Amino acid sequence: MSKTIVLLGGNSSENKDWIERISRLLPFPTHTVVYEHWKNNAQLINLDTEVNRLEQLAPTIIFAKSAGILVTLKGAFERKVSPERCIFAGVPLHWSKKNNFPLEQWLLNWKIPTTFIQNSHDPAGSVEELKLLLEECNVKNFKLTTLRGETHDYPVDEIAKDIKENIS
Protein backbone atom coordinates (compact mmCIF):
# COMPACT_ATOMS: atom_id res chain seq x y z
CA MET A 1 0.00 0.00 0.00
CA SER A 2 1.55 3.29 -1.09
CA LYS A 3 -1.12 5.71 0.12
CA THR A 4 -0.96 7.51 3.43
CA ILE A 5 -3.90 7.08 5.75
CA VAL A 6 -5.00 10.21 7.62
CA LEU A 7 -5.96 9.58 11.26
CA LEU A 8 -8.46 11.83 13.06
CA GLY A 9 -9.21 11.40 16.75
CA GLY A 10 -12.15 12.43 18.87
CA ASN A 11 -12.88 15.80 20.45
CA SER A 12 -11.04 15.39 23.76
CA SER A 13 -7.29 16.02 23.86
CA GLU A 14 -7.02 12.61 25.54
CA ASN A 15 -7.54 11.21 22.04
CA LYS A 16 -4.10 12.46 20.95
CA ASP A 17 -2.25 9.64 22.71
CA TRP A 18 -4.87 7.08 21.59
CA ILE A 19 -4.63 8.00 17.91
CA GLU A 20 -0.81 8.09 18.03
CA ARG A 21 -0.80 4.58 19.54
CA ILE A 22 -2.93 3.37 16.63
CA SER A 23 -0.55 5.02 14.17
CA ARG A 24 2.39 3.11 15.65
CA LEU A 25 0.55 -0.21 15.18
CA LEU A 26 -0.15 0.31 11.47
CA PRO A 27 2.27 -1.13 8.90
CA PHE A 28 1.84 1.70 6.39
CA PRO A 29 2.38 5.48 6.26
CA THR A 30 0.03 7.56 8.40
CA HIS A 31 -0.56 11.24 9.10
CA THR A 32 -2.06 11.95 12.52
CA VAL A 33 -4.01 15.20 12.71
CA VAL A 34 -3.42 17.24 15.87
CA TYR A 35 -6.47 19.46 16.25
CA GLU A 36 -6.04 23.17 16.82
CA HIS A 37 -8.30 23.14 19.88
CA TRP A 38 -6.02 20.58 21.53
CA LYS A 39 -3.18 23.09 21.34
CA ASN A 40 -5.09 25.89 23.11
CA ASN A 41 -7.12 23.69 25.51
CA ALA A 42 -10.50 24.71 24.07
CA GLN A 43 -13.37 22.39 24.97
CA LEU A 44 -14.96 21.97 21.54
CA ILE A 45 -13.51 21.18 18.13
CA ASN A 46 -13.90 23.85 15.46
CA LEU A 47 -15.20 21.79 12.55
CA ASP A 48 -14.63 24.54 9.96
CA THR A 49 -10.99 24.92 10.98
CA GLU A 50 -10.38 21.18 10.88
CA VAL A 51 -12.22 20.68 7.58
CA ASN A 52 -9.99 23.32 5.99
CA ARG A 53 -6.88 21.65 7.40
CA LEU A 54 -8.09 18.24 6.18
CA GLU A 55 -8.71 19.70 2.73
CA GLN A 56 -5.01 20.68 2.53
CA LEU A 57 -4.02 17.06 3.17
CA ALA A 58 -6.22 15.80 0.29
CA PRO A 59 -6.62 12.39 1.97
CA THR A 60 -7.48 9.30 -0.02
CA ILE A 61 -8.04 7.11 3.06
CA ILE A 62 -9.35 8.37 6.39
CA PHE A 63 -9.68 6.69 9.75
CA ALA A 64 -11.71 8.82 12.15
CA LYS A 65 -13.12 8.43 15.63
CA SER A 66 -16.08 10.35 17.01
CA ALA A 67 -15.61 14.10 16.30
CA GLY A 68 -13.12 13.20 13.56
CA ILE A 69 -16.00 11.49 11.76
CA LEU A 70 -17.89 14.78 11.79
CA VAL A 71 -14.86 16.58 10.31
CA THR A 72 -14.76 14.01 7.51
CA LEU A 73 -18.52 14.03 6.84
CA LYS A 74 -18.72 17.84 6.82
CA GLY A 75 -15.67 18.07 4.55
CA ALA A 76 -17.14 15.61 2.07
CA PHE A 77 -20.57 17.28 2.24
CA GLU A 78 -18.91 20.62 1.39
CA ARG A 79 -16.92 18.90 -1.37
CA LYS A 80 -13.63 19.88 0.26
CA VAL A 81 -12.45 16.29 0.67
CA SER A 82 -13.26 13.21 -1.36
CA PRO A 83 -11.59 10.18 0.18
CA GLU A 84 -11.66 6.87 -1.66
CA ARG A 85 -12.33 4.99 1.59
CA CYS A 86 -13.20 5.70 5.23
CA ILE A 87 -13.13 3.79 8.47
CA PHE A 88 -15.19 5.34 11.27
CA ALA A 89 -15.18 4.25 14.92
CA GLY A 90 -17.68 5.52 17.47
CA VAL A 91 -20.11 7.69 15.52
CA PRO A 92 -21.18 10.34 18.09
CA LEU A 93 -24.92 10.34 17.46
CA HIS A 94 -26.01 12.00 20.71
CA TRP A 95 -23.04 14.39 20.96
CA SER A 96 -23.70 15.60 17.40
CA LYS A 97 -27.28 16.42 18.28
CA LYS A 98 -26.30 18.09 21.57
CA ASN A 99 -23.84 20.36 19.72
CA ASN A 100 -26.19 21.07 16.78
CA PHE A 101 -24.01 19.32 14.21
CA PRO A 102 -26.29 18.14 11.36
CA LEU A 103 -25.02 14.55 11.22
CA GLU A 104 -28.09 13.33 9.30
CA GLN A 105 -27.64 15.99 6.61
CA TRP A 106 -23.95 15.14 6.18
CA LEU A 107 -24.68 11.39 6.01
CA LEU A 108 -27.57 11.66 3.55
CA ASN A 109 -26.86 9.51 0.48
CA TRP A 110 -23.25 8.88 1.61
CA LYS A 111 -21.62 6.66 -1.05
CA ILE A 112 -17.93 6.56 -0.11
CA PRO A 113 -16.98 2.98 0.81
CA THR A 114 -16.97 3.10 4.62
CA THR A 115 -16.56 0.69 7.47
CA PHE A 116 -18.44 1.80 10.59
CA ILE A 117 -17.16 0.33 13.86
CA GLN A 118 -19.50 0.86 16.81
CA ASN A 119 -19.63 -0.52 20.32
CA SER A 120 -22.90 -2.39 20.84
CA HIS A 121 -23.95 -0.10 23.70
CA ASP A 122 -21.85 3.02 23.09
CA PRO A 123 -23.46 5.82 25.18
CA ALA A 124 -22.78 8.21 22.27
CA GLY A 125 -25.04 6.00 20.15
CA SER A 126 -25.65 2.27 20.15
CA VAL A 127 -25.00 0.08 17.14
CA GLU A 128 -28.78 -0.29 16.72
CA GLU A 129 -29.26 3.49 16.64
CA LEU A 130 -26.44 3.80 14.11
CA LYS A 131 -27.87 1.03 11.92
CA LEU A 132 -31.24 2.81 11.87
CA LEU A 133 -29.61 6.16 11.00
CA LEU A 134 -27.59 4.62 8.13
CA GLU A 135 -30.81 3.16 6.70
CA GLU A 136 -32.74 6.43 7.12
CA CYS A 137 -29.95 8.39 5.44
CA ASN A 138 -29.74 5.95 2.51
CA VAL A 139 -26.03 5.29 3.12
CA LYS A 140 -24.51 2.99 0.47
CA ASN A 141 -21.27 0.99 0.23
CA PHE A 142 -20.85 0.42 3.93
CA LYS A 143 -19.98 -2.35 6.32
CA LEU A 144 -21.01 -2.21 9.98
CA THR A 145 -18.78 -3.91 12.52
CA THR A 146 -20.13 -4.32 16.04
CA LEU A 147 -17.75 -4.47 18.99
CA ARG A 148 -18.92 -5.57 22.41
CA GLY A 149 -18.80 -2.58 24.68
CA GLU A 150 -20.76 -0.16 26.79
CA THR A 151 -18.42 2.83 26.52
CA HIS A 152 -17.25 5.32 23.91
CA ASP A 153 -13.73 3.89 24.28
CA TYR A 154 -12.35 1.73 21.51
CA PRO A 155 -9.43 -0.66 22.10
CA VAL A 156 -6.31 0.40 20.20
CA ASP A 157 -5.32 -3.15 19.19
CA GLU A 158 -8.80 -4.00 17.88
CA ILE A 159 -9.09 -0.74 15.92
CA ALA A 160 -5.62 -1.12 14.37
CA LYS A 161 -6.54 -4.68 13.33
CA ASP A 162 -9.81 -3.46 11.76
CA ILE A 163 -8.00 -0.67 9.89
CA LYS A 164 -5.44 -3.13 8.49
CA GLU A 165 -8.21 -5.50 7.35
CA ASN A 166 -10.16 -2.69 5.68
CA ILE A 167 -7.21 -1.14 3.88
CA SER A 168 -5.37 -4.13 2.47
Encode the chain (168 residues) as per-residue pLDDT tens digits: 457 899 999 999 989 999 999 999 999 899 999 999 999 888 999 999 999 999 999 889 999 999 999 999 999 999 999 999 999 999 999 999 999 999 999 999 999 999 999 999 999 999 999 999 999 999 999 999 999 999 999 999 999 999 998 887
Which pLDDT score is estimated for 167? Answer: 83
Burial of 131 (0-12, 13-18, 19+ CB in 10 A): middle
Which pLDDT score is estimated for 41? Answer: 86
Which pLDDT score is estimated for 3? Answer: 74
Which pLDDT score is estimated for 1? Answer: 45
Which pLDDT score is estimated for 2? Answer: 55
φ and ψ at residue 129, rounded to 5 degrees: -65, -40
Q: How far apart are CA 70 and CA 23, in angstroms?
A: 20
Q: How does DSSP assign 4-65, residue by residue? A: PEEEE--SSTTHHHHHHHHHHH-SS-EEE---HHHHTT-SS--HHHHHHHHHHH--SEEEEE
Q: How far apart are CA 29 and CA 153, in angstroms?
A: 24
